[in-house]
Amino acid sequence: MKTIAAFYDIDGTLYREALSVELFKKLSRNGIVSDYKWYNEVKPLYDKWVTREANYDDYIDKLSKVYHECIVGVDEGVIKFLANQVIEEKGEKLFRHTKNRLQWHKDQGHKVIIISGSSYDLASGLAKRLGADDVAGTVFITDPETREYTGKVIPMWDRESKIKALNNFVEKYDIDLDQSYAYGDTNGDFTMLNAVKYPTMINPTKELIQHVKETPELAARIETIVERKDVIYKLNINDVDFYEY
């Protein structure tokens, strides 16, 4: 008998914000990210996002770029220590709907698998906390001798990387995608959502909604959930409208 699985993104899907942002703040407070980098490269986009003058992806892309630059030469033990602190302090900041669904999948005996653009240290830490069965995350390469970060990255935030990881798990656990589930919020999750019979968008971005609408077969079976404050909304994707910045 084949395995049924539930594939989860983390940032914006399970976790209410972005674990990478929380780690970035830790790095800044510990002097690994300079004040200059924050105030001159990241904060301007953050301020524009807060006032809805720019989109969230632009802010996160810039933060990720600065993060990659700043950890070059840093010992991996330092990053792992700070990543563990983030999980300990912020690990309960989850959307109620996806957290409840994750528990439901566990109760059904489904494999719970996390595929996240967050660093592997963050993703694996949250996966362990939630009792997930397996995890894939972005890998930051270290020098085998010094154990310092080199600046090279094996990404897990784009569509190609996520579907490759999903297919690896399908082979590893003999997963039946025609009976499986996936949860995501951005265009990077599109291939993961499209691969399963029961996909769910959680607080989806405009770009993801547009791509789903352009894929009628996926649009016909996808569920759209928006969670705000203490209310969970289930939407018809055809009724979702946008405004322009």
Q: Which of 29, 33, 89 is nearest to 65 (CA)?
A: 33
Q: Is the pLDDT of residue 159 over 90?
A: no
Q: Is the pLDDT of residue 154 over 70?
A: yes
Euclidean distance between CA atoms 151 and 189, whole angstroms: 24
Q: Is the pLDDT of residue 58 over 80?
A: no
Residue-wise pLDDT for 178-224, tens only, equals 999 999 998 889 999 999 999 999 999 888 998 999 999 999 999 99
Q: Is the pLDDT of residue 243 over 80?
A: no
Q: What average pLDDT is seen over the chain?
A: 87
Q: How many CB atoms lie within 10 A of CB 30?
A: 12
What DSSP assignment string belongs to 145-198? Answer: TT-BEEEEEE--SSHHHHHHHHHHHHHHHTB-GGG-EEEE-SGGGHHHHHHSSE
What's the rounded mean pLDDT across residues 124-150? 91
Euclidean distance between CA atoms 120 and 68, whole angstroms: 14
Q: Is the pLDDT of residue 41 over 90?
A: no
Euclidean distance between CA atoms 95 and 227, whole angstroms: 7
CA angle 57, 59, 63 (to 5 degrees): 115
What's the rounded mean pLDDT across residues 132-158? 88
Residue-wise pLDDT for 68-108, tens only, equals 777 888 888 988 999 999 999 988 889 999 999 999 999 99
Tokens of 226: 């928006």
Identify the pLDDT of residue 151: 79
Q: Where are the beta strands (DSSP E) in the chain?
A: 5-8, 111-119, 134-142, 149-154, 181-184, 198-202, 223-228, 231-235
Identify the pLDDT of residue 244: 56
Euclidean distance between CA atoms 71 and 193, whole angstroms: 32
Identify the pLDDT of residue 124: 93
Q: Is the pLDDT of residue 242 over 70?
A: no
CB 65 within 8 A of CB 59: no
Identify the pLDDT of residue 103: 95
CA-based torsion, 233, 237, 239, 241: positive or negative: positive
Which residues are within 8 A (CB) of 244 and not within 5 positions of it... i.e. 6 or more apart? none
Q: Is the pLDDT of residue 110 over 70?
A: yes
- DSSP symbol at 40: I
Q: Is the pLDDT of residue 40 over 90?
A: no
Identify the pLDDT of residue 167: 97
| Dihedral Cα 206, 161, 184, 16, nearest 10 deg | -90
> On the CB side of 235, how many CA atoms lie within 13 Å of its CA?
19
- DSSP symbol at 23: H
Identify the pLDDT of residue 169: 97
Q: How many CB atoms lie within 10 A of CB 157?
A: 22
What's the rounded mean pLDDT across residues 133-158? 88
